[in-house]
A and B are shown apart, each in its own frame.
Chain A
Protein backbone atom coordinates (compact mmCIF):
# COMPACT_ATOMS: atom_id res chain seq x y z
CA UNK A 1 0.00 0.00 0.00
CA UNK A 2 1.11 3.54 -0.69
CA UNK A 3 2.10 5.56 2.33
CA UNK A 4 3.85 8.63 3.63
CA UNK A 5 6.55 8.19 6.25
CA UNK A 6 8.54 10.58 8.40
CA UNK A 7 11.81 10.11 10.23
CA UNK A 8 12.85 10.39 12.91
CA UNK A 9 9.63 10.20 14.91
CA UNK A 10 11.28 11.93 17.86
CA UNK A 11 14.31 14.18 17.93
CA UNK A 12 16.03 16.17 20.63
CA UNK A 13 18.64 18.66 19.52
CA UNK A 14 20.52 21.64 20.87
CA UNK A 15 20.08 25.26 19.99
CA UNK A 16 22.14 26.26 16.98
CA UNK A 17 22.45 22.80 15.44
CA UNK A 18 21.30 21.99 11.94
CA UNK A 19 18.52 19.42 11.82
CA UNK A 20 16.95 17.64 8.87
CA UNK A 21 13.57 15.92 9.04
CA UNK A 22 12.82 13.37 6.35
CA UNK A 23 9.56 12.86 4.50
CA UNK A 24 9.02 10.08 1.96
CA UNK A 25 5.83 9.26 0.07
CA UNK A 26 5.02 6.41 -2.26
CA UNK A 27 1.75 7.87 -3.56
CA UNK A 28 3.59 9.42 -6.52
CA UNK A 29 2.00 12.75 -5.61
CA UNK A 30 3.37 15.92 -7.14
CA UNK A 31 2.32 18.14 -4.22
CA UNK A 32 4.09 17.92 -0.88
CA UNK A 33 3.75 20.11 2.21
CA UNK A 34 5.37 20.68 5.58
CA UNK A 35 3.35 21.90 8.56
CA UNK A 36 4.04 22.52 12.20
CA UNK A 37 1.43 21.94 14.85
CA UNK A 38 1.45 23.93 18.06
CA UNK A 39 -1.14 24.23 20.79
CA UNK A 40 -3.43 27.16 20.09
CA UNK A 41 -2.22 27.59 16.52
CA UNK A 42 -3.47 24.52 14.76
CA UNK A 43 -1.55 23.67 11.62
CA UNK A 44 0.73 26.25 10.05
CA UNK A 45 2.29 25.84 6.64
CA UNK A 46 6.08 26.02 6.49
CA UNK A 47 7.00 25.13 2.90
CA UNK A 48 5.42 23.36 -0.01
CA UNK A 49 6.34 21.94 -3.40
CA UNK A 50 4.35 21.28 -6.55
CA UNK A 51 6.97 19.07 -8.14
CA UNK A 52 10.65 18.31 -8.62
CA UNK A 53 12.84 21.40 -8.28
CA UNK A 54 9.84 23.48 -7.16
CA UNK A 55 9.70 24.89 -3.62
CA UNK A 56 7.62 27.68 -2.10
CA UNK A 57 7.47 29.45 1.25
CA UNK A 58 4.51 29.12 3.55
CA UNK A 59 3.36 31.41 6.33
CA UNK A 60 6.08 30.41 8.84
CA UNK A 61 9.10 29.68 6.65
CA UNK A 62 11.77 31.70 8.49
CA UNK A 63 14.54 29.42 9.72
CA UNK A 64 13.47 26.50 7.54
CA UNK A 65 14.40 25.29 4.07
CA UNK A 66 13.38 22.46 1.76
CA UNK A 67 14.62 20.95 -1.48
CA UNK A 68 12.86 18.64 -3.93
CA UNK A 69 15.20 16.50 -6.00
CA UNK A 70 12.73 13.70 -6.72
CA UNK A 71 9.00 13.07 -6.50
CA UNK A 72 9.11 10.93 -3.36
CA UNK A 73 11.07 13.08 -0.89
CA UNK A 74 10.82 16.54 0.64
CA UNK A 75 13.32 16.93 3.50
CA UNK A 76 12.87 19.85 5.87
CA UNK A 77 16.03 21.49 7.23
CA UNK A 78 16.28 23.73 10.25
CA UNK A 79 19.39 25.74 9.51
CA UNK A 80 20.13 26.70 13.12
CA UNK A 81 17.63 25.24 15.53
CA UNK A 82 15.94 27.58 17.99
CA UNK A 83 13.79 26.81 21.02
CA UNK A 84 10.84 28.41 19.22
CA UNK A 85 11.06 25.58 16.71
CA UNK A 86 10.14 22.99 19.29
CA UNK A 87 6.99 21.54 17.78
CA UNK A 88 5.38 18.59 16.06
CA UNK A 89 6.09 18.57 12.33
CA UNK A 90 3.82 16.96 9.76
CA UNK A 91 4.52 16.20 6.16
CA UNK A 92 1.63 15.81 3.72
CA UNK A 93 1.12 15.08 0.05
CA UNK A 94 -1.70 15.36 -2.45
CA UNK A 95 -2.44 14.87 -6.09
CA UNK A 96 -2.32 17.85 -8.40
CA UNK A 97 -5.44 19.53 -9.60
CA UNK A 98 -8.76 20.00 -7.90
CA UNK A 99 -9.77 19.28 -5.28
CA UNK A 100 -7.71 16.56 -3.79
CA UNK A 101 -7.38 15.89 -0.09
CA UNK A 102 -4.02 15.68 1.66
CA UNK A 103 -2.43 12.55 3.07
CA UNK A 104 -0.44 13.15 6.24
CA UNK A 105 2.55 11.42 7.73
CA UNK A 106 2.69 10.33 11.38
CA UNK A 107 4.63 13.38 12.48
CA UNK A 108 8.02 14.17 14.03
CA UNK A 109 8.19 15.57 17.54
CA UNK A 110 11.18 17.91 17.70
CA UNK A 111 12.52 19.33 20.93
CA UNK A 112 15.18 22.03 20.83
CA UNK A 113 16.99 22.47 24.16
Chain B
Protein backbone atom coordinates (compact mmCIF):
# COMPACT_ATOMS: atom_id res chain seq x y z
CA UNK B 1 0.00 0.00 0.00
CA UNK B 2 1.82 3.03 -1.24
CA UNK B 3 -0.75 5.75 -0.83
CA UNK B 4 -4.34 6.86 -1.12
CA UNK B 5 -6.01 5.64 -4.28
CA UNK B 6 -9.18 6.90 -5.93
CA UNK B 7 -11.34 5.43 -8.63
CA UNK B 8 -12.21 6.47 -11.25
CA UNK B 9 -9.69 9.17 -12.08
CA UNK B 10 -12.08 10.82 -14.52
CA UNK B 11 -15.83 10.72 -14.86
CA UNK B 12 -17.97 12.41 -17.48
CA UNK B 13 -21.69 12.27 -16.92
CA UNK B 14 -24.85 13.94 -18.08
CA UNK B 15 -26.82 16.25 -15.86
CA UNK B 16 -29.29 14.37 -13.73
CA UNK B 17 -27.31 11.14 -13.57
CA UNK B 18 -25.95 9.62 -10.36
CA UNK B 19 -22.23 9.03 -9.87
CA UNK B 20 -20.24 7.19 -7.24
CA UNK B 21 -16.56 7.57 -6.43
CA UNK B 22 -14.38 5.29 -4.37
CA UNK B 23 -11.45 6.08 -2.10
CA UNK B 24 -9.03 3.57 -0.61
CA UNK B 25 -7.04 5.19 2.20
CA UNK B 26 -3.65 4.18 3.53
CA UNK B 27 -4.45 0.96 5.33
CA UNK B 28 -3.45 1.91 8.86
CA UNK B 29 -5.18 5.32 8.76
CA UNK B 30 -8.48 5.49 10.57
CA UNK B 31 -9.35 9.05 9.53
CA UNK B 32 -10.71 9.74 6.06
CA UNK B 33 -11.71 13.03 4.45
CA UNK B 34 -13.42 14.15 1.27
CA UNK B 35 -12.69 17.53 -0.27
CA UNK B 36 -13.82 19.25 -3.45
CA UNK B 37 -11.54 21.45 -5.52
CA UNK B 38 -12.69 23.71 -8.33
CA UNK B 39 -10.42 25.44 -10.83
CA UNK B 40 -8.28 28.12 -9.26
CA UNK B 41 -9.35 27.29 -5.72
CA UNK B 42 -7.99 25.30 -2.85
CA UNK B 43 -9.67 22.14 -1.62
CA UNK B 44 -12.91 22.67 0.32
CA UNK B 45 -13.81 20.25 3.07
CA UNK B 46 -16.87 18.08 2.48
CA UNK B 47 -16.92 15.38 5.14
CA UNK B 48 -14.81 13.43 7.64
CA UNK B 49 -14.87 9.85 8.96
CA UNK B 50 -13.24 8.39 12.02
CA UNK B 51 -13.29 4.69 11.29
CA UNK B 52 -16.84 4.04 10.03
CA UNK B 53 -18.42 6.99 11.82
CA UNK B 54 -19.14 10.13 9.80
CA UNK B 55 -18.31 12.82 12.35
CA UNK B 56 -18.49 16.03 10.41
CA UNK B 57 -20.24 17.28 7.28
CA UNK B 58 -19.85 20.63 5.59
CA UNK B 59 -22.89 22.70 4.72
CA UNK B 60 -21.51 22.39 1.16
CA UNK B 61 -22.66 18.77 1.28
CA UNK B 62 -26.22 19.10 0.03
CA UNK B 63 -28.74 16.30 0.40
CA UNK B 64 -27.76 15.08 -3.07
CA UNK B 65 -24.38 14.06 -1.67
CA UNK B 66 -23.89 11.04 0.54
CA UNK B 67 -20.72 9.41 1.78
CA UNK B 68 -20.17 6.08 3.46
CA UNK B 69 -17.34 4.14 5.00
CA UNK B 70 -19.10 0.94 5.95
CA UNK B 71 -16.21 -1.11 7.34
CA UNK B 72 -13.90 1.69 8.31
CA UNK B 73 -11.66 1.05 5.31
CA UNK B 74 -12.62 2.30 1.84
CA UNK B 75 -15.16 5.06 1.37
CA UNK B 76 -17.64 6.00 -1.33
CA UNK B 77 -19.02 9.39 -2.25
CA UNK B 78 -22.25 9.42 -4.22
CA UNK B 79 -23.77 12.40 -5.97
CA UNK B 80 -27.37 12.02 -7.03
CA UNK B 81 -29.04 14.03 -9.80
CA UNK B 82 -25.77 15.69 -10.79
CA UNK B 83 -25.75 19.35 -11.77
CA UNK B 84 -23.22 21.26 -13.86
CA UNK B 85 -22.08 23.03 -10.71
CA UNK B 86 -20.92 19.68 -9.34
CA UNK B 87 -18.10 19.61 -11.90
CA UNK B 88 -14.91 19.62 -9.86
CA UNK B 89 -12.02 17.51 -8.63
CA UNK B 90 -13.06 15.33 -5.70
CA UNK B 91 -10.15 14.61 -3.40
CA UNK B 92 -9.87 11.98 -0.72
CA UNK B 93 -7.33 12.12 2.09
CA UNK B 94 -6.47 9.95 5.05
CA UNK B 95 -4.53 10.46 8.23
CA UNK B 96 -3.60 8.54 11.35
CA UNK B 97 -5.36 9.45 14.56
CA UNK B 98 -2.15 10.56 16.25
CA UNK B 99 0.47 13.11 15.34
CA UNK B 100 0.12 16.35 13.45
CA UNK B 101 -2.97 15.36 11.45
CA UNK B 102 -0.88 15.10 8.31
CA UNK B 103 -3.41 14.35 5.63
CA UNK B 104 -2.24 12.25 2.70
CA UNK B 105 -4.15 13.03 -0.46
CA UNK B 106 -5.14 10.80 -3.32
CA UNK B 107 -4.86 11.89 -6.97
CA UNK B 108 -8.53 12.85 -7.11
CA UNK B 109 -11.49 12.06 -9.32
CA UNK B 110 -12.24 14.72 -11.91
CA UNK B 111 -15.98 14.98 -12.51
CA UNK B 112 -17.39 16.71 -15.57
CA UNK B 113 -21.14 17.15 -15.75
CA UNK B 114 -22.41 17.97 -19.24
Tell me, yes or no, whether A binds B.
no
Interface residues of A (CB under 8 A from B): none
Interface residues of B (CB under 8 A from A): none
